[in-house]
Amino acid sequence: MSPDDHPTRSGSMSGASHHAPLWIPLLTMWILALAASAGCPRPPSSSGPRLPLAAGRDPHLIPRALLFGNPGQTAVQLSPDGRRLSFLAPSNGVLNIWVRPVGRGNARPVTRETRRGIRGYFWTPDSRGLLFSQDKDGDENYRIFLARADGKGVKQLTPGGGVRAQVLKVSHLHPHTILVTTNQRRRSLFDVYRLDLQSGRLSLDTPNPGNVVGWVADHQMKVRAARAMASDGDKLLLVRDAPKGAWRTLRRWTPLESGVPMGFTPDGQGVFVVDNKGVDKMRLIEVRISDGKVTQLFASPLADVSRVAINPRSHRIEAVTVEYLKKRWVALDPGFGKDIRALARLARGNRFGIVSRSLDGRRWVVAVGGPTMPARYYLYQRPARTLRLLLDTRPELGSYRLASQEPVIIEARDHMKLVCYLTRPPRPLPGKQPLVLFVHGGPWSRDKWAYNPWVQWLANRGYMVLQVNYRGSAGFGKRYLNAGNREWGRKMQHDLTDAVRWAIRTQGVDRRRVAILGGSYGGYAALAGVAFTPGLYAAAVDIVGPSSILTLLASIPPYWKPLMTVFSTRVGDLKADREMLRRRSPLYFAHRIRTPLAIFQGANDPRVKISESDQMVQAIRRRGGRVLYVVYPDEGHGFKGPANRLDFIGRTEGFLSRHLGGRLEPFRKIPGSSAQIR
């Protein structure tokens, strides 16, 4: 669950998103494998628990461990000086950070995590260290750590004890200082702190006046802009001329509009913003600080601007991406256009992205991938525009046939056009086809045309897979987004129902073998599906999904409190709309549920608390119903531990096979999993 969705900035030196929201969405990482040089400590080629191949097993069946186990190597980054590569690879059974020279040389782990693998990191500006964050068993109270690139130690930089921290800004102009945000003064508000990387000293830089939900620093590491919430629900872009100056409103958006600052212009006298004020699609504009004058830099009639590439040294806009059916790059800098064309030739119709680059811009790391091609990493030498393959993601999958993903437009009952993706199994089962409706979370997020291990897993087992960007999904303009306002369990759910009926009517789907599966909001949709349309589905899988909107909104994390007006607009007001929210909550219709149901929950989830699943299971069982309920005591909003992830996937596969008849890899207990059947 997340309260909003934002475009992101890409192409920065560090790889960090300086304008990321205050939450961390559940994402599927691109999985990569980087070969280490001979004679050096070699990261294992597999990661974590694997299931042995049973004698006589279908050779076309992709082992779950190849899709969902820890990658051999992943998340490659280039140091700012361009001399070293870093990546995540298993060590001590979980993902740790490894470093090696760009050319030949030894790779070595520089962190020693043993409980929860590292999910993301980036280099310090001086190329001497790497910053990463860790929480405790999924509680999302992230602490920031600094690992020395020479492997000689790791230092915790921000406090624990329920405090959540996030990196705000790094700059090559200030190599030994970074800006971070933490809620150590008040759990519901984030202040800006200046952190000295050498001494570890953390000092308050900018206190939160009470309504700020995001900060923006200029090129000199001075906090001069902020995103804030007004008491009437409007969203504000605040600016000031100096660090101690008075804040003033530069731009204002109503609750039905959106705007995200991307950073300051090269001269520091303007702000790059992606917004939809006065238009439908999110566009890129420049807003002058002195008088608020707006200059449009790019707009697309099809979809929102989704990413903005900004040069880390000149701070000029180089390119944007938009994504309707597929991702498309648009160069705004002529020189950058030549690079985009070179990378497009390499991608051959697949997706590509600039993962990181050296500070001088001469070396880039580029990832290329698509629905049937897990990502490959290349080293791009910009002066000559040459590419060298660094690694092939998941080379083990090369011997299996992956499934193609087809963009389709489905018309809902009120004639709204829904952007969807249909994936057919490479080897269909006999007769009419079983279908899994795979519902994305957020809900203010979207499904994309991309490699997805979940989709490949389901298709490999013989299921058609349908992904629906129901109304309320982000990326398609504010009319599409706002059409989902206060429509949980109603029109948003109708879109899913209509898409399933379309598939039954036109795609040869067996109406008796349709399942619904999803996490977070997708888990809510699964519960709503079996509660509100009990005859439509043969099975349902809810992963960390809320069962009651009332109890969900009453128990949100404290740092989401300033965003309650967003929930009031998008979902409903906890007081004024109480009866409506009750009618949209599956918990109060548990007596209607007759569909086989599986519920998976992390015990430490701060967004969708375990009480959401507990109360649903109790309501079903009180009426004599049956539900498979599995809890992971050391997980939060999703299952990050490799053993827990494989356990969950294995149990889900068996559940779907029992009720839909798909292919099955035998399940065996996963060593190290904390799964508790309740």
Tens of pLDDT, residues 272-286: 999 999 999 999 999
Would you state the torsion angle of the CA atoms of residues 446, 448, 454, 456, taken in this order, to the nearest 10 degrees? 160
Do 158 and 144 touch, CB atoms closer than 8 A?
yes
Length of the chain: 678
Residue found under tokens 């991307």 = 262
Q: What is the enclosing helix (H) or strand (E) of 620? A: helix 610-622
Do 304 and 475 touch, CB atoms closer than 8 A?
yes
Question: Which residues is 252 bridged to in the sheet?
Answer: 236
DSSP secondary-structure letter at 563? G
Do 627 and 599 touch, CB atoms closer than 8 A?
yes
Res. 21: pLDDT tops 80: no
Q: How far apart are CA 381 and CA 379, in angstroms?
A: 7
* pLDDT score, position 33: 26
Q: How far apart are CA 670 and CA 664, in angstroms?
A: 16
Q: Which domains does the chain have, with CATH numbers?
A: 209-328 (2.120.10.30), 401-677 (3.40.50.1820)
Do 305 and 322 touch, CB atoms closer than 8 A?
yes
Res. 504: pLDDT tops 90: yes
Phi, psi of 646 (to 5 degrees): -70, -35
pLDDT, the chain, mean: 91
Do 309 and 263 touch, CB atoms closer than 8 A?
no
Q: Residue 513 in 3-state DSSP? A: strand
Do 131 and 124 touch, CB atoms closer than 8 A?
yes
* pLDDT score, position 2: 61
DSSP secondary-structure letter at 587? G
- Range of lowest pLDDT (321-325, 393-397, 622-626, 662-666): 393-397
> Which of 442, 518, 449 minimizes the C-alpha distance to 473?
442
* pLDDT per position as a tens digit, 426-460: 999 999 999 999 999 999 999 999 999 999 999 99
Q: How far apart are CA 434 and CA 425, in angstroms?
A: 10
User: Residues 6 or more apart from 636 whose CB is under 8 A from it?
Assistant: 135, 137, 138, 139, 140, 602, 604, 605, 606
Res. 193: pLDDT tops 50: yes
Q: How far apart are CA 446 and CA 459, in angstroms?
A: 20
Q: How far apart are CA 11 and CA 13, in angstroms?
A: 7
* pLDDT score, position 392: 82
* pLDDT score, position 8: 66
Question: Which residues is 204 bridged to in the sheet?
Answer: 193
Mean pLDDT for 503-532 is: 98
Rounded CA Rg of the chain? 24
The amino acid at residue 87 is F
Active site residues: 520, 605, 637
Q: How far apart are CA 32 and CA 226, in angstroms?
A: 36
Phi, psi of 636 (to 5 degrees): -120, -125
> Which of 644, 492, 665 minimizes the C-alpha distance to 48?
644
Verdict on whether the full-model pTM lies above 0.95: no
CB under 8 A, 24+ apart: contacts of 187-195? 187/162, 187/558, 187/559, 188/558, 188/559, 188/561, 188/562, 189/559, 189/562, 190/22, 190/164, 190/166, 190/215, 190/559, 192/168, 192/217, 192/223, 194/221, 195/144, 195/157, 195/158
pLDDT band at 71 (very low <50, low <70, confident <90, very high): confident
Helical axes 453-460 vs 642-660, angle rounded to 10°: 40
Q: How far apart are CA 515 and CA 522, in angstroms?
A: 13
Structure tokens at 179: 């800006």
Q: What is the per-residue burial (b if ≥16 Cβ within 10 Å, else e) of 302-330?
A: ebbbbbbbbbbeebebbbbbbbbbebbbe
Cβ count near 65 (within 10 Å): 23
Q: How far apart are CA 544 and CA 271, in angstroms?
A: 38
* pLDDT per position as a tens digit, 532-548: 999 999 999 999 999 99
Res. 22: pLDDT tops 70: no
Mean pLDDT for 603-629 is: 97
Q: What is the enclosing helix (H) or strand (E) of 341? A: helix 334-347
Q: How far apart are CA 47 and CA 118, in angstroms?
A: 13
User: Residues 6 or more apart from 669 whose CB is under 8 A from it?
Assistant: 647
* pLDDT score, position 52: 38
Mean pLDDT for 110-125 is: 94
Q: How far apart are CA 527 and CA 588, in angstroms?
A: 11
- Range of lowest pLDDT (56-60, 94-98, 181-185, 644-648): 56-60
- What percent of the chain has pLDDT above 70? 92
- What percent of the chain has pLDDT above 90? 86
Res. 477: pLDDT tops 70: yes
Would you state the torsion angle of the CA atoms of residues 599, 600, 602, 608, taken in this order, to the nearest 10 degrees? -40
> Which of 374, 372, 379 minimizes the C-alpha distance to 392?
374
